[in-house]
Structure 1
Amino acid sequence: MPGIDESLLEAMRLPGARGAWLVDWISGLALGAVGEAPGGDAEATAAVTAELARHAAESGALAPGGPDSAGVGTSPVEDMIVTTGDAYHLIRFVSTPFDSTVFLHLWLDRNDGNLALARLRLGEMAGRLVLG
């Protein structure tokens, strides 16, 4: 089972990959990073995507089953895709036996990348990722 560095390097082998991070959405800190970052700042990218991820993870409105009585979604968000004119940002939440607050973030070139393939592979990576 791969660790953080191995998983991020695997993500960078995807066609069109420009950068990859493992981010804690509570603190906004990158636990690992490889490749480029938009604007050249990996920590700023981690902090911005953490805000998006935190909102999605804590919003019961986005869960297919809707919120439960505590306002929490009955089915967790698996991933998010943010598109720009030249790129995709794929955010994949990592599920663990404990209360996980991390996600994989892949910055993918829109012209060279395959979003469907990247989404499938990132999901596989998240399932195999060993934290700790």
Structure 2
Amino acid sequence: MSQLDSSIQELLTIDGATGAAIVDISSGMALASGGNPGFDLNVAAAGNSNVVRAKLRTMQEIDLQGEIEDIMITLGNQYHLINVLNTEATSGLFVYLVLDRNSSNLALARHKLTGVARKISL
């Protein structure tokens, strides 16, 4: 099992996690994914790469310095967490985590997501 696949498996142990992917921002391609969130995870990963690129572009247009850490999208029954990886070895990637809103603890999930994200390398 690759290091990326191991990271996906670790993300899926987070309470309420139904899907996870490690995604290339520029292409939208999921390098690794797993789980069953009830929708096509690869399509969602590609769509969320558009979200990350749009935010990066907006930051550049308004001359906002810094790096994106997280983007959170709340839905009626799910949380979608995007954790942008900013190390030299993982630049250009993000982690996409889907949580069931009724069975997850958002603060704890974000904490665990950050811990897993720090260990990801290519």
One fold, TM greater than 0.5?
Answer: yes
Hey, what's the Cα distance between the residues in 2 that align with 1:127 and 1:99?
Answer: 10
Q: How many residues align?
A: 121
**Aligned counterpart, 1:70:** none
Contact 1:28 1:46 in 2 (8 A): yes
Query: What is residue 46 of structure 1 aligned with on the other side?
Result: 45
> Whole-Å Cα distance in 2 between the matches of residues 42 and 49 of structure 1?
10
In 2, distance between residues paired with 1:15 and 1:98?
28
Q: CA RMSD in A?
A: 2.0
Matches within 5 A, 1:57-96: 57-60=56-59, 67=63, 73-96=64-87
Name the TM-score, length of structure 1 as normaliser: 0.83
TM superposition shift of 1:26? 0.5
Bigger Rg, structure 1 or 2: 1
Displacement after TM superposition at 1:98 (Å): 5.2
Query: For residues 107 and 56 of structure 2, what CA distance do their matches in structure 1 show?
Result: 22
Distance between the aligned counterparts of 1:23 and 1:111, measured in 2? 26
Displacement after TM superposition at 1:119 (Å): 0.8
Please give the residue correspondences for 1:92-111 in structure 2 after superposition, counting only pairs within 5 Å.
92-97=83-88, 100-111=91-102
1:7 aligned partner: 7
Question: Which whole-Å CA distance do the structure 2 matches of 1:121 and 1:44 have between them?
Answer: 24
Q: What is the rounded CA distance, in whole Å, between the counterparts of 2:27 and 2:101 in structure 1?
A: 29
**Post-superposition offset of 1:28:** 0.7
Runs of 5+ in structure 2 lacking a partner? none
Does the 8 A contact of 1:95 with 1:127 survive in 2?
no
TM-superposed CA distance for 1:106, in Å, is 0.4
